[in-house]
């Protein structure tokens, strides 16, 4: 089934990721199913954070992927295919200033437009399912400054309101194209990812175990490690290092 051929709209749910995982366990979900929420009461963000989003104003959805024992070594490439699908979609409306901030935030200029949370179901050493949770700011124009740093939405960028379900269907088409690329040409996926990487080639401020330092951002490798240059090349996995 093509991604998004079946979109289930949930008026309110704890988290579309939790819901999708439950549906997979209950054998109710198949590859390509999308769970879209108007409201999440316990939206999940990266690294145990909450994801807050105004009711009925943004895309909050989870896409179910049947991974069919694909290599777990390609986890980052899979995640970059999701980031690139979201990037393509956002760029279509917001233009050239869209980028992907490592590992998979969608940025417009230096403001966050969306985030991705992928949860994998692995049995033994076999990758069975991936749930790609996507939150993209579309129509929200008021954000709580105490909660998110520098957010932005498409309505703020373009000055018009968008039809959420139509946008969701279109996002699924962009995701489908990148899913095919992940299956056919993983090398090109990595180079596409590096081409749209936020601040690539620039000096950036990073923090490791409370030590702040500056480094040149050279790119990301196939395992998703950030490649930076200080006085020598260094590579860091997500969680080991933070943006300042």
Chain residues in the site for ligand BTN (CB under 6 A)? 15-17, 40, 43-46, 49, 51, 60-62, 105, 115-117, 133-135
**CB-nearer residue toward ligand BTN: 60 or 215:** 60
Q: Which helix (H) or strand (E) holds 79?
A: helix 75-94
Minimum distance from residue 238 beta carbon to ligand BTN (Å): 12
**CB-nearer residue toward ligand BTN: 48 or 124:** 48
d(CA 231, CA 242): 19
User: 226 — phi, psi (to 5°)?
Assistant: -75, 125
**CB-nearer residue toward ligand BTN: 63 or 215:** 63
Minimum distance from residue 134 beta carbon to ligand BTN (Å): 6
- Which residue's Cβ has the minimum distance to ligand BTN? 115
Pairing between β-strand 211-220 and β-strand 203-208 as defined by DSSP bridges = antiparallel
Minimum distance from residue 167 beta carbon to ligand BTN (Å): 14
**CB-nearer residue toward ligand BTN: 54 or 216:** 54
* Helices and strands (H, E) in the chain, number of each type: 5, 12
Q: What's the burial of 170, exposed, middle or buried (CB within 10 Å: 0-12/13-18/19+)?
A: middle
Taking residue 242's Cβ as centre, other Cβ atoms within 10 Å add up to 15
Minimum distance from residue 53 beta carbon to ligand BTN (Å): 7
Minimum distance from residue 38 beta carbon to ligand BTN (Å): 12
Residue 218, both tokens: 């050279």
Minimum distance from residue 76 beta carbon to ligand BTN (Å): 16
Measured between alpha carbons, how far is residue 239 from residues 102, 166, 224, 243 in Å?
11, 35, 11, 10
Q: What is the DSSP letter of 130?
A: E
**CB-nearer residue toward ligand BTN: 38 or 186:** 38
**CB-nearer residue toward ligand BTN: 43 or 181:** 43
């Amino acid at each position: 089934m093509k991604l998004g051929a079946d979109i289930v709209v949930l008026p309110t749910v704890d988290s579309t990721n939790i819901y999708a995982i439950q549906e997979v366990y209950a054998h109710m979900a198949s590859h390509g199913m999308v769970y879209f929420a108007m409201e999440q009461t316990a939206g999940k963000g990266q690294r145990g954070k909450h994801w807050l989003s105004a009711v009925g104003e943004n895309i909050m959805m989870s896409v179910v992927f049947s991974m069919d024992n694909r290599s777990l070594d390609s986890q980052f490439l899979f995640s970059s295919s999701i980031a690139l699908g979201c990037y393509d979609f956002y760029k279509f409306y917001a233009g050239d200033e869209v980028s992907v901030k490592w590992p998979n935030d969608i940025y417009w200029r230096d403001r966050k437009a969306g985030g991705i949370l992928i949860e994998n179901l692995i049995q033994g050493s076999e990758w069975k399912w991936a749930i790609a949770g996507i939150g993209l700011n579309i129509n929200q124009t008021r954000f709580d400054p105490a909660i998110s740093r520098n957010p932005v939405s498409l309505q703020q960028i373009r000055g018009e309101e968008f039809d959420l379900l139509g946008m969701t269907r279109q996002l699924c088409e962009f995701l489908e194209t990148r899913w095919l690329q992940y299956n056919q040409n993983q090398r090109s996926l990595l180079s596409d990812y590096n081409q749209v990487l936020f601040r690539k080639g620039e000096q950036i401020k990073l923090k490791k175990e409370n030590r702040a330092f500056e480094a040149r951002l050279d790119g990301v490798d196939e395992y998703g490690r950030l490649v930076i240059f200080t006085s020598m090349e260094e590579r860091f996995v997500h969680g080991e290092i933070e943006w300042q």
